[in-house]
């Protein structure tokens, strides 16, 4: 398939960068070029911000049901082309086709969900203390918002930021990740075809250090929603603190799954294996630590090693587990595997580049046993299909180790013991807690976000909570 030349979307038009320079997005499965994008500059980004600022008031004044109708039509357009978009997603990001199809469906569902929510954003009535009066709140958009998104869920995350932002009446400047911007263009085309007014959404591609940094430091931007690494999230926080913009930061994870003696070991292996190796381990909520009771430890490790060995690795269009997104991500994973060996953990299975016929960024699903909590492979986010299995002797030790992390995004426990399940809910430091379920995956109508270094902790995404970040409340006293 020929690589397409894409453009920026600014003020309702597809335009080139003033630099006329471009960059290529390549297929991690075989190195072929998927698309080419403008390498945009500060000037391009400022133009997009101006377009958003000019469109802001009219969009805010557009009735909520009308804004919702645009999102609903866009959802329909995306649904109609979902198969093609899923294939494009696999070709540019690498994940297995079934995973890509699920992600595109999530974006469709998110658009439908917030299409309905747009009609509910009027505020609420309260009982006034005096007679002949009204007391109520009015919900208003925050203003011009900057959205900065990562490559690992390249359409779902832009959708779950843009849909509530637009539903609430904000104008948007969106910078997609450079490794996987093509599916954001597909989403943008759907919104354009749905009749989104000019300037309400603007999409600028280019480097984080130029396009991203221009958004985060610009005085016109009222709020910034960022998802990505904790390191870049901190830069965004510093920059936004100077301009006073509202921020939402959703960042890394080192998610634990605790396995207790009452667990069915086969079931625990499936829960941990799918959480660790799904989307090639490139999920913020991926299970990267299995904290396992010593009485079932050996049986669990053997089962997880078999699970990893049975996975079929290859291009996402054909295999269970696709490649990593870039050569540098693969290199990072292989470095951590070397460190794990040097630290004295036991490499049970994987640990290498597989012997395949394909020229892509493949790595074997990897299981380390005899891991200690202080080891780097148990503390740092690897963002590849590597799981560290840590033995523990009781529930208290398991929770202590699960909480021994700078991160706190998602955590799970596999147990049939009701008391352990409830204590885990109370004692775990995480934004998402799951009992007998994998750490990955969250439905769209519940709040999503982390604690500690996984999140700015100020706001949650998705569900009703996803609208809070994009709205502000005015309290109104009316006496007559």
Positions marked catalytic: 284
- Residue pair 309/300 in contact by the 8 Å Cβ criterion: no
Residue 9 bridge partners (DSSP): 14, 203
Dihedral through CA 206, CA 210, CA 215, CA 218, nearest 10? -150
Q: Report helix, strand or coil for 417.
A: coil
CA distances from 132 to 95, 126, 329, 434, 451 (A): 61, 14, 65, 50, 45
User: Which one among 209, 295, 309, 393 touches ligand NAP, defined by CB under 6 A?
Assistant: 209
Pick 300 or 459: Cβ nearer ligand NAP: 459
**The two structure tokens encoding residue 241:** 């603190």
422 binds ligand NAP (CB under 6 A): no
172 binds ligand NAP (CB under 6 A): no
Pick 178 or 405: Cβ nearer ligand NAP: 178
Question: What residues from 282 to 301 belong to the interface with ligand NAP (CB under 6 A)?
Answer: 284
Query: How many C-beta neighbours within 10 Å does residue 465 have?
Result: 16
Cα–Cα distance for residue pair 74/208, rounded to 1 Å: 27
232 binds ligand NAP (CB under 6 A): yes
- Contact region with ligand NAP (CB under 6 A), list: 61-69, 209-217, 386-394, 470-478: 209-217
10 binds ligand NAP (CB under 6 A): no
152 binds ligand NAP (CB under 6 A): yes
Pick 321 or 442: Cβ nearer ligand NAP: 442
Nearest residue to ligand NAP, scored by beta-carbon proximity: 208
Cα–Cα distance for residue pair 103/196, rounded to 1 Å: 23
88 binds ligand NAP (CB under 6 A): no
- Residue pair 89/100 in contact by the 8 Å Cβ criterion: yes
Residue 63's Cβ-count burial label (10 Å; 0-12, 13-18, 19+) is exposed
Pick 90 or 455: Cβ nearer ligand NAP: 455
| Closest to 12 in 3D by CA, of 180, 211, 191 | 191
Cα–Cα distance for residue pair 105/156, rounded to 1 Å: 9
76 binds ligand NAP (CB under 6 A): no
User: Which one among 68, 143, 150, 273 touches ligand NAP, defined by CB under 6 A?
Assistant: 150
User: Which one among 94, 253, 314, 360 touches ligand NAP, defined by CB under 6 A?
Assistant: 253
Our measurement of the distance from residue 12's CA atom to the centroid of its chain's CA atoms, rounded to an integer in Å, reads 26
**The two structure tokens encoding residue 39:** 């390498």
Pick 251 or 411: Cβ nearer ligand NAP: 251
User: Which one among 186, 192, 222, 250 touches ligand NAP, defined by CB under 6 A?
Assistant: 250
252 binds ligand NAP (CB under 6 A): yes
178 binds ligand NAP (CB under 6 A): yes
| Closest to 142 in 3D by CA, of 246, 249, 227 | 246
- Contact region with ligand NAP (CB under 6 A), list: 36-44, 66-74, 245-253, 362-370: 245-253
- Contact region with ligand NAP (CB under 6 A), list: 85-93, 144-152, 353-361, 418-426: 144-152
Pattern of binders to ligand NAP over 22-61, x per CB under 6 A? ----------------------------------------
- Minimum Å distance from CB 282 to ligand NAP? 7
- Contact region with ligand NAP (CB under 6 A), list: 45-53, 187-195, 196-204, 227-235: 227-235
User: Which one among 39, 73, 175, 289 touches ligand NAP, defined by CB under 6 A?
Assistant: 175
Residue bearing tokens 């658009």: 111
Our measurement of the distance from residue 177's CA atom to the centroid of its chain's CA atoms, rounded to an integer in Å, reads 11
CA geometry: angle at 456 spanning 57 and 220, to 5°?
A: 25
- Residue pair 292/394 in contact by the 8 Å Cβ criterion: no
Alpha helix locations (H) across 35-181?
A: 42-61, 64-80, 82-93, 97-117, 156-167
Pick 238 or 294: Cβ nearer ligand NAP: 238
Can you spell out the DSSP letters for 137-154?
A: EEEEE--EEEEE--SSST
Pick 179 or 369: Cβ nearer ligand NAP: 179
383 binds ligand NAP (CB under 6 A): yes
Q: Which residues bind ligand NAP (CB under 6 A)?
A: 148-153, 175, 177-178, 207-209, 212-213, 216, 227-229, 232, 235-236, 250-253, 284, 381, 383, 409, 450, 454
């Amino acid at each position: 398939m020929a690589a397409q030349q894409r453009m920026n979307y600014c003020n309702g038009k597809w335009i080139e960068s003033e630099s006329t320079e471009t960059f290529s997005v390549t297929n991690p499965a075989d190195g072929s070029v998927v698309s080419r994008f403008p390498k945009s500059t500060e000037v391009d980004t400022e133009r997009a911000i101006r377009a958003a600022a000019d469109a802001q008031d009219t969009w805010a004044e557009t009735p909520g049901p009308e804004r919702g109708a645009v999102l609903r039509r866009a959802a329909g357009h995306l649904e109609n082309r979902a198969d093609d978009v899923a294939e494009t997603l696999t070709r540019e990001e690498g994940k297995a086709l079934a995973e890509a199809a699920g992600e595109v469906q999530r974006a469709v569902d998110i658009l439908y969900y917030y299409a309905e929510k747009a009609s509910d954003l009027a505020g609420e009535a309260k009982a006034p203390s005096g007679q002949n009066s009204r007391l109520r709140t009015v919900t208003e958009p925050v203003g011009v918002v900057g959205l900065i998104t990562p490559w690992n869920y390249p359409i779902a995350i832009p959708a779950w930021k843009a849909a509530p932002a637009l539903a609430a009446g904000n104008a948007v400047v969106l910078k997609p990740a450079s490794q996987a911007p093509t599916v954001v263009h597909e989403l943008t085309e759907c919104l354009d075809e749905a009749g989104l007014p000019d300037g309400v959404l603007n999409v600028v591609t280019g480097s984080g250090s130029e396009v991203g940094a221009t958004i985060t430091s610009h005085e016109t931007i009222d709020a910034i929603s960022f998802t990505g690494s904790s390191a870049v999230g901190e830069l965004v926080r510093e920059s936004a603190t100077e301009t006073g913009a509202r921020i939402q930061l959703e960042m890394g994870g080192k998610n634990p799954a605790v396995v207790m003696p009452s667990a069915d070991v086969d079931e625990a292996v499936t829960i941990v294996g799918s959480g660790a190796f799904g989307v090639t381990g490139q999920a913020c909520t991926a299970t990267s630590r299995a904290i396992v009771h010593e009485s079932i430890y050996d049986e669990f490790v053997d089962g997880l090693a078999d699970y990893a060995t049975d996975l079929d690795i290859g291009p996402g269009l054909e295999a269970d587990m696709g490649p990593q997104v870039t050569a540098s991500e693969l290199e990072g994973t292989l470095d951590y595997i070397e460190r794990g060996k040097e630290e004295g953990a036991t490499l049970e299975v994987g640990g290498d580049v597989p012997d395949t016929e394909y020229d892509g960024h493949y790595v074997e699903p990897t299981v380390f046993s005899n891991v200690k909590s202080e080891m780097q492979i148990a503390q740092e986010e690897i963002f590849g299909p590597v799981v560290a299995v840590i033995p523990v002797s009781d529930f208290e030790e398991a929770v202590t180790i699960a909480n021994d992390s700078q991160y706190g995004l998602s955590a799970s426990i596999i147990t049939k013991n009701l008391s352990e399940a409830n204590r885990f809910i109370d004692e775990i430091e995480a934004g998402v807690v799951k009992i007998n379920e994998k750490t990955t995956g969250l439905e769209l109508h519940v709040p999503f976000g982390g604690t500690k270094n996984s999140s700015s902790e100020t706001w949650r995404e998705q569900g009703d909570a996803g609208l809070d970040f994009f709205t502000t409340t005015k309290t109104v006293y009316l006496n007559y």
